[in-house]
Amino acid sequence: MKLQQLKDQLNTIYLGKSDVIDLCLTALIAEGHILLEDAPGTGKTMLAKALANSFDSAFSRIQFTADLLPSDVIGSDFFNMKTQEFENKRGPLFANVVLIDEINRAVPRTQSALLEAMEERQVSIGGTTYQMPAPFFVIATQNPIESAGTFPLPDAQLDRFMVAIEVGYPNLEHERQLLNEVLANVRKQAISIATGGDLITWQEEARRVHASQDVLDYLLSIVRTTRHHALVEVGVSPRGAIALLRASQSYAFLNGRDFIIPEDIKYLAKHVLSHRLTLTLEGGIKTTKADLLLHLLDDIPVPVEMG
């Protein structure tokens, strides 16, 4: 099966992070975008490139910098002196797989150029709307906001990402294997295994995964609890609830099931919902978004039976 071959390839390239790979594939099959977070040098860009190169689709990489303009991303209209007419030059965002490296090094004005494309799969340039190709997904990497030269992503931009994943450092065994591969010059490169058509088929199949009413009620209890917690200023929106449902369908499909179990939702909630929270000033001092959400999950009963 192509999907299993794709997973196996990514696991041989990005060592010891099968959970991160599963989360990335979950987002792609759920038609969502991915935000990879952690310190520089932890392999975020390598993972994103390997994931993109695993599909036989149009690929584009955009290095975000402080001097990047919105037109450098989405394109612009220009006047053709030969034809005496305005023409449109599309930017690098028009691709099936778009890698945005160090997204938080661009100013908010440039970051906002992504909003329409990521949510509505279209871009407006000079009063004309252009549809994005299908499939279309964004994989962005982000350095810690404490790093020099970074600009925090606004809530509206964070909300466009289905999952936010902290990749973390490899363990000793896998880091030793990495160094040995570097010495032997045998680092593997991703090859195309699946097509855009395969991804669209997986997306359609994942949307047919069943969710019982008990599962939906459990999902809603998590989402609605975030809106009333004393340390949360802005809780998860209905868009966040839909994202968690779609991700849960995708994760079940990835694991060979045609139904969601409560454990799918509990596992995914941290990665799908944490970055959508806005903590109060007191909350930001006392805890982190991820830790707060994990604490909430511990207090919400998990349904045993699905009706």
Q: Mean of the pLDDT values across residues 232-249?
A: 94
Give the contacts of 257 (CB within 8 A, at least 6 positions apart). 209
Using the structure block, give the residue that is written with the tokens 């990749």.
167
pTM of the model: 0.88
Calpha distance 123→101 (Å, rounded): 20
Lowest mean pLDDT among 36-45, 63-72, 226-235, 252-261: 36-45
Tell me the average pLDDT across 288-300. Answer: 91
Q: How confident is the model at residue 148 (pLDDT cuts 50, 70, 90)?
A: low
Q: In whole angstroms, give the CA distance from residue 257 to residue 77.
A: 47
CA distances from 67 to 51, 70, 107, 118, 275 (A): 28, 10, 8, 22, 26
Letter for the amino acid at 295?
Answer: H
Residue in the structure block whose two tokens are 């028009």: 94
* pLDDT (average), residues 135-142: 90
Cβ–Cβ < 8 Å for 289, 238: no
pLDDT for residue 291 is more than 70 = yes
Q: Give 276's DSSP letter.
A: G
Residues, the chain: 307
The residue with tokens 């591969």 is: 181
